[in-house]
């Protein structure tokens, strides 16, 4: 497999390099609550600036409907990027308009500008090839070369991710290189024992991952909201817990395949069940197959794996040489239902081998629960992109960079 890297672009001093980052960070009242993706962009930007490139950063934030919305402005992100880089970062109040043209035109060697949110322009996410290409052409007017470093969007066929890279010499940044190196180890050459931990809300979000990884793993641990569909597939009554009834037959198929392949597919033995979806709700620990036998009866809601399961999962994780985790074990945002996720995260910090946190809610959880990124082997910046890669799908934002 090949991938064009920054070295393929040749000398960059004095050249305008447009860098597609993924700076889609959570904001609350204009304050960044998790700057992980901004920090992940720093190594590539630093390398380009040190080479004397004139760096133009582009990114999206949130889901604006193709028009400017103040709450989705990248201006606070540009300020944070300047703090992390330790140098001035110019901010343009539009993406391909007069201000962007002026700010890019004024850049000197080793200077950097951030353009306003790509998704303020309908062409960025358009399904119409001509509209998308027209927007990419306007972005390309600012570029002598393009570096794609937004791993979280490489599964999207969007103007800044796919079309722009076809218009100018393009290469992958250091973040994409690192992500692919880790994912290649997970899929093609994992050190064993190899354990995958899956959680999150829905089984349907993880079907492709389960199918692709079952032939490759030794142990598969199932938690989060998706565990209740697995438990129901084995005949348990799950009360009012999250259940995808239309996936029961599919799940039974996975259970049978795991058994046939000798993969240990482990379901929770106990669960934390609550009377309502609230941090103040009454809650109890019960056996995973006895949820409706709690005082809440059929209205009981399973909101976390139980302590026995947490201890079992943690022990299996610590005994592994390769661990990939995607999806919280419970509703970690509510303190009474965060213990399972915290136990899994802590166990990953103790793995004598490669531990990978699969982006999205999992990355948010470890930071919210007080862990440092450096405690893990790798924290992915791309939840959806990581999952699609692990499903074996072709990702347009990688194929355009030469990845086959």
Q: So which residues are the catalytic ones?
A: 37, 202, 360, 384
Q: CA-to-CA distance for 324 and 335, rounded, in angstroms?
A: 24
Task: Tell me how far CA of residue 142 lies from CA of 165, 167, 307, in angstroms.
Answer: 13, 12, 55
149 is known to lie in a ligand binding site? no
3 is known to lie in a ligand binding site? no
312 is known to lie in a ligand binding site? no
Q: CA-to-CA distance for 286 and 41, rounded, in angstroms?
A: 44
358 is known to lie in a ligand binding site? no
Q: CA-to-CA distance for 326 and 329, rounded, in angstroms?
A: 9
| CA dihedral over 272, 274, 278, 279, signed as positive or negative | negative
359 is known to lie in a ligand binding site? yes
16 is known to lie in a ligand binding site? no
360 is known to lie in a ligand binding site? yes
Residues 136, 126: contact at Cβ < 8 Å? no
Task: Tell me how far CA of residue 249 lies from CA of 36, 225, 232, 262, 331, in angstroms.
Answer: 38, 17, 10, 20, 26
Task: Tell me how far CA of residue 57 lies from CA of 71, 91, 144, 295, in angstroms.
Answer: 19, 10, 13, 55
223 is known to lie in a ligand binding site? no
302 is known to lie in a ligand binding site? yes
204 is known to lie in a ligand binding site? no
Q: Going edge to edge, which strands form the sheet with 270-274? A: 283-287, 270-274, 301-305
Task: Tell me how far CA of residue 219 lies from CA of 225, 261, 361, in angstroms.
Answer: 19, 11, 22
Q: What is the CA radius of gyration of the chain?
A: 23
235 is known to lie in a ligand binding site? no
157 is known to lie in a ligand binding site? no
Instruction: Name the residue among 169, 248, 174, 173 with its Cα closest to residue 207.
Output: 248
Q: How big is the CA angle at 123 (ends 120 and 128), to the nearest 5 degrees?
A: 150
Which residues share a beta bridge with 16?
Answer: 54
14 is known to lie in a ligand binding site? no
119 is known to lie in a ligand binding site? yes
166 is known to lie in a ligand binding site? no
Q: Where are the alpha helices (DSSP H) in 56-173?
A: 75-85, 98-105, 129-140, 164-167
Residue with tokens 């692990």: 390
243 is known to lie in a ligand binding site? no
Retrieve residue 219's tokens.
Answer: 């142990």
Q: What is the dihedral of CA 255, 260, 266, 267, to 10 degrees?
A: 20
Residue-by-residue DSSP string for 361-386:
HHHHHHHHTT--GGGSSEE-S-HHHH
Annotated binding site: 22-24, 37, 60-63, 119, 156, 206, 302, 333, 359-362
Annotated binding site for (2R)-3-phosphoglycerate: 37, 119, 156
Annotated binding site for ATP: 206, 302, 333, 359-362
Annotated binding site for substrate: 22-24, 37, 60-63, 119, 156
């Amino acid at each position: 497999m090949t991938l064009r890297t920054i070295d393929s672009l040749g000398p960059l001093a004095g050249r305008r390099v447009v860098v597609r980052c993924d700076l889609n960070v959570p904001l609350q009242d204009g304050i960044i609550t998790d700057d992980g993706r901004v920090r992940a962009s720093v190594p590539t930007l630093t390398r380009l600036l040190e080479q004397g490139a004139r760096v133009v950063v582009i990114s999206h934030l949130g889901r604006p409907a193709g028009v400017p919305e103040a709450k989705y402005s990248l201006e606070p992100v540009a300020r944070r990027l300047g703090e992390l880089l330790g140098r001035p970062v110019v901010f343009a109040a539009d993406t391909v308009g007069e201000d962007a043209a002026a700010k890019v035109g004024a850049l000197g060697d080793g200077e950097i500008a951030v353009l306003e949110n790509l998704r303020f322009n309908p062409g960025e996410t358009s399904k119409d090839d001509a509209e998308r290409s027209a927007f990419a052409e306007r972005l390309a007017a600012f570029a002598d070369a393009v570096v794609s470093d937004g791993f979280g969007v490489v599964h999207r066929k969007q103007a800044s991710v796919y079309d722009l890279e076809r218009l100018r010499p393009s290469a992958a940044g250091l973040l994409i290189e690192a992500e692919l190196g880790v994912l290649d180890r997970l899929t093609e050459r994992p050190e064993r024992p190899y354990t995958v931990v899956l959680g999150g809300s829905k089984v349907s979000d993880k079907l492709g991952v389960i199918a692709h990884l079952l032939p490759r793993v030794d142990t598969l641990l199932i938690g989060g909201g998706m565990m209740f569909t697995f438990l129901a597939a084995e005949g348990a009554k799950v009360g009012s817990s999250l259940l995808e009834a239309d996936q029961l037959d599919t799940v039974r198929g996975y259970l049978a395949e795991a058994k046939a392949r000798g993969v240990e597919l482990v379901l929770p033995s106990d669960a934390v069940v609550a009377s309502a979806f609230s941090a103040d709700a009454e809650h109890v620990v019960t056996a995973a197959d006895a949820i409706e036998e709690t005082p809440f009866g059929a209205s009981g809601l399973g909101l976390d794996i139980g302590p026995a399961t947490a201890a079992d999962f943690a022990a299996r994780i610590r005994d592994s040489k390769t661990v990939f985790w995607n999806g919280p074990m419970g509703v970690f945002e509510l303190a009474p239902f965060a213990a399972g996720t915290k136990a899994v995260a802590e166990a990953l910090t103790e793995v004598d081998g490669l531990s990978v946190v699969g982006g999205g809610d999992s990355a948010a959880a470890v930071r919210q629960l007080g862990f440092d990124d450096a405690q893990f082997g790798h924290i992915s910046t791309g939840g959806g992109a990581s999952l699609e890669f692990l499903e074996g799908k072709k990702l347009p934002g990688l194929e355009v960079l030469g990845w086959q």
